A and B are shown apart, each in its own frame.
Chain A
Amino acid sequence: AQSVTQPDARVTVSEGASLQLRCKYSYSATPYLFWYVQYPRQGLQMLLKYYSGDPVVQGVNGFEAEFSKSDSSFHLRKASVHWSDSAVYFCAVSYNYAQGLTFGLGTRVSVFP
């Protein structure tokens, strides 16, 4: 069965600092890969996705992610965070995205001024 590991439950960063959130997946083939963000008391919003091609994908709000087949990873990055980036970030995968997503446990990001 496919699985997703986000090793960091919580990350604290200062405003203006860079951010990297780690995600590793376990699956025999390259799945569809996603990053979602959940703001307090809201549903999830997709930041970016990867299907194939250029391993670095750009998303919304200055986020980007890099896929590594050799490492089975899909890490999320942002060069300079803002206080509004405080949220929970989920990595998700799917072999057939129409059949639903498998989510990691999430990483709670707190940005301090």
Chain B
Amino acid sequence: GAGVSQTPSNKVTEKGKYVELRCDPISGHTALYWYRQSLGQGPEFLIYFQGTGAADDSGLPNDRFFAVRPEGSVSTLKIQRTERGDSAVYLCASSLNTGNEQFFGPGTRLTVL
């Protein structure tokens, strides 16, 4: 079956612009996670959803970052007033339920010029 998909695969934007990154989880998976991986680093946790609600958003670095999952399936990570330091690969993962094995998407590579 289809795995986790993320769009776009690459996004180049200018400093100060707004971007949206999309994640389509595996059908039926109730838990969805966003992570960020900077070059040469391990991924770091941003936010996780159980259903439609953000169960833990403690990893979001500041209020420029926001994520939604209005129908409990697709999620969008939104970044306002992008900064060069936001450049990274943004990874999405989903799991059947909280605590189950997580399946990762291919990531969106964001470059802020």
A and B pair up: no
Chain B: residues with CB nearer than 8 A to chain A?
none
